[in-house]
Amino acid sequence: MPEKPEPILLRGGRVIDPGRGLDEVADVLLVDGRVQDVGQPGTPDGAVVRDVSGQVVVPGLVDVHVHLREPGGEHKETIATGARAAIVGGFTSVCAMPNTDPPIDDPAAVGFVRAEGMRAGAARVYPVGAVSVGLEGERLALIGEMVEEGAVAITDDGRPVSDSGLMRLALEYTQSFDIPVADHCEDRTLSRNGSMNEGVVSTRLGITGIPKAAEEVMIARDLILAEMTGGHIHIQHVSTRRGVELIRQAKERGVRVTAEGTPHHFTLTEDAVDGYRTEAKVNPPLRTADDVAAVREGLADGTLDCIATDHAPHHYDEKEQAFEDAPFGLVGLETALGLGLTELVDGGVLTLPQLIDHMSRAPAGAFHLDAGTLAPGAVADVTVFDPAAEWTVDPAAFVSKSRNTPFAGRKLRGQATLTIVGGRIVWDRVRGVESLKNLLPRRDG
Ligand code: DOR
């Protein structure tokens, strides 16, 4: 039997539960790994009481797009280090992409990710299976069997599903399991060997560009196929104005589509790669100020449902190569909440409840995860953050194994102070990394 966690009373915080329209100062009582009450529940015997006045208490944050690199890329990140970086950033659930080596394209590999995630005892780790065997884009992977082992979605992320017939099949077949097909939208006949956004900056730097159309053509195709099949398409990391607009129109027509915006795409433009800064090399690439504005508008009106990090750890040596040779990707788990609060809430783009909706309820809903609410009886996954904490991004202090961030030295406001998974405090900023040393393996499913 799993050991029962002690009851926890979070006293006096601003409790925001977007799914129930709740935003009030209240106490939150967690008993036996569940939310027992939100309001004035009193203090049961033996409860751990934490005064969280001045802080914000929300359903645990959910990131549906992370790369944990295990198996095969353990020098960049492991499932355990990634799950720890997640709780430090305030995430209680993360969805692990299958572009590992070997890829997560069969039930045994899915079971491995799930088991390692549980062993890590930090954030919950939900495996995402591949669409195609070997991520090769030719034959459908064993989707039903992967779902039985715990896959919550499928994607070939890192690569697009280029074969439209295969995407059609995936969208048809996944309806039996009610899981989304997530797509990294990129027409590779258009992106070819580009390394950054195609435009003035790429021309000045002499770097081959990736046109916006490479992403937009594929988004349009996916939306047409989702409409035709009735399947659920989830568009990953949308980076262009037309991409946002295509999704907005499809939603108006009732297409089953959900979509993500990333912190880097709502914060940075292509100018961040100036100086050949490989930390800002990411796919899809950072675009123009107008595209950043469009991603923000998409989040504000709900066209983009989720904020997802696309946490993509890479080793220093790999990022130190010439710009064209360096891999795409940047880490995001430990900076996402601060960027959301600073750029979107302080920036007047979203209200605080809207930000939490995008970082918890909506992603949980899109991937059908048991998360995203503080309703009585819900799993006690809770994030507490200090909205006023000012801090400076210091990659050397990351818990992630990798430090490839374009946000080093940036001043942010807002930081997770307590992260609770299944009723257990797994991250306590007062104790710092000490609190990570005794993480108990979670034994629940
Ligand atoms: O920048 C990226 N990095 N984009 C992707 O699609 C894949 C990811 C990775 O795996 O490094």
* Bridge partners (DSSP) listed for residue 141: none
**Pick the catalytic residue: 63, 310, 381, 386?**
310
Mean pLDDT value of segment 331-353: 98
**Residue 2 pLDDT exceeds 70:** no
pLDDT at 372 over 90: yes
pTM (predicted TM-score): 0.97
Amino acid found at 58: V
For the Cβ of 67 lying below 6 angstroms from any atom of ligand 1, the answer is yes
The string of pLDDT tens digits covering residues 15-46 is 999 999 999 999 999 999 999 999 988 888 89
Q: What is the mean pLDDT of residues 239-265?
A: 99
Ligand 1 centre to CA of 293 (Å) is 23
Q: How many angstroms is it from 312 CA to the middle of ligand 1?
A: 6
Mutational test site, ligand 1, from 63, 64, 135, 157, max ligand atoms within 8 Å of CB: 157
Query: In this model, does residue 438 exceed pLDDT 80?
Result: no
Rounded CA separation 334/97 (Å): 18
**pLDDT class for 394, splitting at 50, 70, 90?**
very high
Across residues 127-151, what is the average pLDDT? Answer: 98
Closest protein CA for atom 4 of ligand 1 = 283
Which strands form 181-183's sheet, in the order they lie side by side? 154-155, 181-183, 233-235, 257-261, 306-307
Q: What is the mean pLDDT of the chain?
A: 96
**Res 143: pLDDT:** 98
> How close is the Cα of 108 to the center of ligand 1, in Å?
24
Residue 4 confidence class, pLDDT cut points 50, 70, 90 = confident
For the Cβ of 308 lying below 6 angstroms from any atom of ligand 1, the answer is no
Known catalytic residue: 290? no
- What's the pLDDT tens digit per position in 51-92? 999 999 999 999 999 999 999 999 999 999 999 999 999 999
C-alpha 283 – ligand 1 centre gap (Å): 6
Give the whole-number percent of the chain exceeding pLDDT 90. Answer: 94
283 lines ligand 1 (CB under 6 A): yes
CA 206 to chain centre: 32
Mean predicted confidence (pLDDT) in 89-100: 98
pLDDT given for residue 43 in this prediction: 87
For the Cβ of 318 lying below 6 angstroms from any atom of ligand 1, the answer is no
The mean per-residue pLDDT over the stretch 2-13 comes to: 90
User: Which pLDDT belongs to residue 435?
Assistant: 83
Q: What pLDDT band is residue 439 in, cutting at 50, 70 and 90? A: confident
Q: Determine the residue of 63, 64, 67, 273 to mutate for testing ligand 1's pocket, defined as the one with the most ligand atoms within 8 A of the Cβ atom.
A: 67
* Helix 107-120 vs helix 79-88: crossing angle, to nearest 10: 50
Q: Whose C-alpha lies nearest to ligand 1, atom 3?
A: 329
442 pLDDT tier (thresholds 50, 70, 90): low
Is the pLDDT confidence value at 138 over 60?
A: yes
Give the position of tokens 């819900």.
Answer: 378
Query: Which residue in 282, 271, 283, 393 sits closest to 333, CA to CA?
Result: 393
